[in-house]
Structure 1
């Protein structure tokens, strides 16, 4: 499982990983398998891990007072998932993260100083900075699209950026991720097949 993570770091860093770095990664990251619908994190828990997805898919969501789920993130292989606010501030999470498919993860715990030690690896830090920048830009774009663009446009952008989502996640999760109803998504998909 570590091979995927090592490749991911090396692809996003100009610094090499030493043997000592590889040993630390192997020591620090904990392999974890989740069944479909099994939780990695539940609302009210403190997030203790940052997770790298080796195989499978997860969703991060909240549940409102009416029991409706609101999807914040959908994640697949070679993506990271966690509640970073809960992880860093050690406060209860407002999110749930569960596996949408059988999922294999590598968990980086905050406990025992592993997070700080791994962050001291130059290649990991370079990768993390790129990841943080990319995530910030994607969050800005998504917020802008939700405020200023039609549901049709948001769906079209999703199909361009993440076409695999359409095969991996059901319509109701895609609709929630886009901030639209299932009925609106169904209409958009129906119209797009006519084009």
Structure 2
């Protein structure tokens, strides 16, 4: 499983990863598997591990007082999954994270992440770039939710995540976009009729 992460890490640095660095990564990242619908994290628990998805698909969601799920995030291979606030601040999570498909993961603790940031330049560069991308994506998503039409939200979503419609059910995508299933069905129909 670690080989997939080594390939991923190469995208963030032109310097090759040394054998010593690879060995440290192997020591710090713990391989794990989740069956479909098995939880990585449940609301109220502390997020003690962040997970790099080697294989599979996951979702992060909250459940409101009426029992309705609200999808906050979805992820597939080469994505990270975890509750950043709980992980960083050591506070109980507001979210559930579970496997939508059978998953192969690499877990890292907060301490492990700090150690790799100090000892492996490529990991530090990866973290900086991912933090920047995350901030940009969050700003775009917020702006989209406030001001974009349903059609524009769906179009942007598909352009950024073309593999998601084949991996996640329509009601997950509708929830993520802040739409109901009927609205998303209409948007998709109109899009394909053009």
Q: TM-score, normalised by structure 2?
A: 0.97
Distance 1:85 1:158 in 2: 24
Deviation string for 1:114-147 (max 9, x for gaps)? Answer: 2221121111000111111111111111111111
Deviation string for 1:30-73 (max 9, x for gaps)? Answer: 11111111100000000001110000010000000000000000
Distance 2:132 2:13 in 1: 14
Distance 1:81 1:42 in 2: 13
- SS of residue in 1 equivalent to 2:163: helix
Q: Provide the residue aligned with 1:24 in structure 2.
A: 24
Deviation string for 1:88-129 (max 9, x for gaps)? Answer: 11111001000011111100023xx32221121111000111
Q: Provide the residue aligned with 1:159 in structure 2.
A: 158
Instruction: Provide runs of 4+ in structure 1 moved above 6 Å.
Output: none
Deviation at 1:151, TM superposition (A): 0.6
Q: Which runs of 5+ in 1 are unaligned?
A: none
Distance 2:113 2:180 in 1: 39
Distance 2:114 2:15 in 1: 18
- Alignment: residue pair count: 193
Deviation at 1:16, TM superposition (A): 2.8
- SS of residue in 1 equivalent to 2:189: helix
Q: Provide the residue aligned with 1:86 in structure 2.
A: 86
Distance 2:36 2:80 in 1: 18
Q: TM-score, normalised by structure 1?
A: 0.96
Root-mean-square deviation (CA), in Å? 0.9
Q: Provide the residue aligned with 1:118 in structure 2.
A: 116
Q: Provide the residue aligned with 1:107 in structure 2.
A: 107
Q: Which runs of 5+ in 2 are unaligned?
A: none
